[in-house]
A = this chain, B = another copy of it.
Amino acid sequence: MSNPPTIKEIAKKLNISISTVSRALHDHPSIGLRTKMRVQQLAKDLNYEPNQTAIFFQQRKTFTLGVILPELSEAFFSSAISGIEDTANKHKYSVLLGQSHDNEEREKQIVETMKNHRVDGLIISIAKNTVNYDHFEMLKKYNIPIVFFDRIPNLPNIHYVACDMESGTIQAVNFLLKNNHRIIGMINGPEKLFASQQRVEGYIKAMKKYRLKFDPNLMVASDLTREGTETAMQSLLSLRRKPTAIVVFNDYVALDAVQYARHKKLRINKDIVFVSYSNLPLSHYTAFPPLASVEQFPYQQGQKATETLVELLGKSNEQPEATTYYKVILESQLMLNQNK
| Copies of this polypeptide in the complex | 2
Q: How far, in Å, is A51 (CB) from chain B's closest CB? A: 7
> If the complex has contacts A52-B118, A73-B299, A287-B285, are A95 and B94 also in contact, measured as CB distance less than 8 A?
no
Contact A52 B116 (CB under 8 A): yes
Contact A94 B73 (CB under 8 A): no
- Could you tell me the distance between the alpha carbons of A52 and B66 in the complex, rounded to whole angstroms? 15
A4 at the interface (CB under 8 A from B): yes
Contact B49 A116 (CB under 8 A): yes
Q: How far, in Å, is A214 (CB) from chain B's closest CB? A: 33
**Residue with the greatest number of chain B CB neighbours at <10 A, chosen from A53, A115, A255:** A53
A210 at the interface (CB under 8 A from B): no
A117 at the interface (CB under 8 A from B): yes
Residues of B within 8 A of A117 (CB): 52-53, 64, 94
Contact B82 A97 (CB under 8 A): no
* CB-CB nearest in chain B for A320: B2
Contact A53 B118 (CB under 8 A): yes
> If the complex has contacts A56-B57, A96-B97, A142-B4, are A73 and B62 also in contact, measured as CB distance less than 8 A?
no
- Could you tell me the distance between the alpha carbons of A99 and B2 in the complex, rounded to whole angstroms? 29
* CB-CB nearest in chain B for A71: B82
- Could you tell me the distance between the alpha carbons of A286 and B49 in the complex, rounded to whole angstroms? 49
Q: How far, in Å, is A80 (CB) from chain B's closest CB? A: 9
Contact A339 B97 (CB under 8 A): no
Residues of B within 8 A of A115 (CB): 49
A86 at the interface (CB under 8 A from B): yes
> If the complex has contacts A118-B51, A285-B287, A287-B339, are A97 and B81 also in contact, measured as CB distance less than 8 A?
yes
A239 at the interface (CB under 8 A from B): no
- Could you tell me the distance between the alpha carbons of A100 and B263 in the complex, rounded to whole angstroms? 43
Question: Which of B60, B86, B285 is close to A285, meaning CB atoms less than 8 Å apart?
Answer: B285
- Could you tell me the distance between the alpha carbons of A61 and B73 in the complex, rounded to whole angstroms? 29
A279 at the interface (CB under 8 A from B): no
Q: Bits for A120-135, please: 1 = Cβ < 8 Å to B, else 0.
A: 0000000000000000
- Could you tell me the distance between the alpha carbons of A27 and B338 in the complex, rounded to whole angstroms? 65
Q: Bits for A269-294, please: 1 = Cβ < 8 Å to B, else 0.
A: 00000000000101001110000000
A322 at the interface (CB under 8 A from B): no
- Could you tell me the distance between the alpha carbons of A82 and B75 in the complex, rounded to whole angstroms? 12
- Could you tell me the distance between the alpha carbons of A339 and B262 in the complex, rounded to whole angstroms? 14
Question: Which of B54, B82, B118, B143 is close to A73, meaning CB atoms less than 8 Å apart?
Answer: B82
Q: Bits for A35-62, please: 1 = Cβ < 8 Å to B, else 0.
A: 0000000000001011111101100101
Question: For window 99-116 of chain A, which residues contact chain B by CB distance below 8 Å?
Answer: 99, 110, 113, 115-116
**Which residues in A have some Cβ–Cβ distance to B below 8 Å?**
2, 4, 47, 49-54, 56-57, 60, 62, 64, 67, 71-75, 77-79, 81-82, 85-86, 89, 94-99, 110, 113, 115-118, 141-143, 255, 280, 282, 285-287, 299, 339
Q: List 19 A-B contacts (CB under 8 A).
A: A2-B143, A47-B141, A52-B117, A53-B57, A53-B60, A56-B57, A64-B117, A72-B82, A73-B82, A78-B81, A82-B99, A86-B99, A89-B98, A89-B110, A94-B96, A95-B96, A285-B286, A285-B287, A287-B287
